Amino acid sequence: MPRAVTQKSDNTPTGEAGSGERIFTALEICAGGGGQALGLEQAGFLHAGVAEIDESACATLLHNRPDWNVLPMDIRALQGKLYRGIDLLAGGVPCPPFSIAGKQLGHKDERDLFPEALRLVEEAQPKAVMLENVKGFSSEKFADYRERLKSSLNELGYAVEWRVLNASDYGVPQLRPRFVLVALRRRVAKLFRWPEPVGAPPTVADTIGELIAARGWPGAQAWREKAQEIAPTLVGGSKKHGGPDLGPTRAKQKWLELGVDAMGVANEPPGPDHPIEKPPRLTVQMVARLQGFPADWQFVGGKTAAYRQVGNAFPPPVAGAVAKAIITALKSEQLKIPLEDATKQQLMLLDARRKTA
């Protein structure tokens, strides 16, 4: 298992103490390959801890951000009290209990980690909570479960809102509807506004056309002309199933209409010998671009492990948009607290994390 790396207090995003703005800290659980963690960083959060149980995903996090405090562990063993005082607790708790692709066992599924998330909220007492899941969690079938979750957060002192957000509204070239829950301390909640859509997303061709053509495939230009829509929702799958492919039968048909063979994932882009009339398969790098990851974010592990990290990710642009909205609300509330005191509090918190890592 990869070693944990302690966050350095000088590795701050825009908004560090010296720039006249206060630091905002986050603890992330079930981080996977880093989609939400990256979005939080882009929004301006400094990670006090990033917890993930999967070895390949931890390696990905450390490869891309060696200064992050990566916690390679089951969140059942994570002690929230060590992070008391953080601004945000965020996570993409496992989705199989609520996914239409699974049995939808909800709270009866051993992979349901919402109770652990609630425990960590109670122990860490963050100012805000952000939990992401599949669209299926918004269905009527889980209405009672959502109400229990909301009631538990209310009892802990939070006002709760949730929405289904489409990734395509935030610059990601696929629809990808996701359930997003935001809970804030009541004094802050009235200041929160959900992020507005940013406009039409790029097409599949716009996003990965250069990668499809990278090895000189003669059919690249014709392919670009065909792939002038957004992608179907990418599916990551679980370890209980076989190798990577791009989704169920209906999604595979949509991929084929875009000129993509969705039956598997390729090791490299199509080359000069790839038949013009044969739809190419996408590489992990291409799928990552379609998920909203930046070009320099690299995934560690075999092809199947890497693809699952991408396919199960919360797209960074969507996570970043919600996180920015949370920071805006927290900044408005923090105007009531002297900047020097607020920044000092967060620096003391990060220093404590270094000593306990």
Confidence of residue 340 (pLDDT cuts 50, 70, 90): low
Mean pLDDT of the chain: 86
Which amino acid belongs to residue 45? Answer: F
Token representation of residue 278: 């044969």
Mean local confidence (pLDDT), 254-263: 96
Confidence of residue 108 (pLDDT cuts 50, 70, 90): very low
Label the pairing between strands 128-134 and 177-185: antiparallel
Which amino acid belongs to residue 60? Answer: T
pLDDT at residue 98, as a whole number? 47
- Of 166, 106, 177, 97, the closest CA to residue 135 belongs to 177
Tell me what percent of the residues of the chain surpass a pLDDT of 90: 73
Mean local confidence (pLDDT), 339-344: 52
| Better-scored residue on pLDDT, 102 or 232 | 232
User: What is the tens place of the pLDDT at every residue in 55-71?
Assistant: 999 999 999 999 999 99
pLDDT at residue 17, as a whole number? 43
Mean local confidence (pLDDT), 87-96: 84
Measured between alpha carbons, how far is residue 206 from residues 175, 188, 211, 221, 265 in Å? 16, 39, 10, 12, 20
pLDDT at residue 332, as a whole number? 84
Residue 254 clears pLDDT 60, i.e. is over it: yes
Delimiting residues of CATH 3.40.50.150 domain(s) in the chain: 17-199+314-356
Confidence of residue 5 (pLDDT cuts 50, 70, 90): very low
pLDDT at residue 235, as a whole number? 84
Handedness of CA 173, 175, 179, 182 (dihedral sign): positive
In 3-state terms, what secondary structure has residue 28? strand
The residue to which tokens 């996003």 are assigned? 207
Residue 100 clears pLDDT 90, i.e. is over it: no
| Better-scored residue on pLDDT, 324 or 22 | 324
Q: What element of type H or E holds 150?
A: helix 143-155
Q: What pTM did the predictor assign?
A: 0.86
Confidence of residue 344 (pLDDT cuts 50, 70, 90): low
pLDDT at residue 111, as a whole number? 53
Mean local confidence (pLDDT), 79-107: 71
| Better-scored residue on pLDDT, 199 or 220 | 220
Residue 1 clears pLDDT 60, i.e. is over it: no
| Better-scored residue on pLDDT, 17 or 212 | 212
Rounded distance, CA 88 to CA 325, Å? 12
Residue 315 clears pLDDT 80, i.e. is over it: yes
Token representation of residue 213: 């053509």
Among 12-21, 68-77, 213-222, the range scoring the smallest mean pLDDT is: 12-21
- What architecture is the 17-199+314-356 domain classified under in CATH? 3-Layer(aba) Sandwich (3.40)
Confidence of residue 51 (pLDDT cuts 50, 70, 90): very high
Residue 269 clears pLDDT 90, i.e. is over it: yes
User: What is the tens place of the pLDDT at every residue in 124-183?
Assistant: 999 999 999 989 899 998 899 999 999 999 999 999 999 999 999 999 999 899 999 999
| Better-scored residue on pLDDT, 121 or 336 | 121
pLDDT at residue 261, as a whole number? 96
Confidence of residue 345 (pLDDT cuts 50, 70, 90): low
Catalytic residues: 95
| Better-scored residue on pLDDT, 12 or 264 | 264
Confidence of residue 343 (pLDDT cuts 50, 70, 90): low
Residue 297 clears pLDDT 80, i.e. is over it: yes
- On whether the CB atoms of residues 216 and 206 are closer than 8 A, the answer is no
pLDDT at residue 341, as a whole number? 53
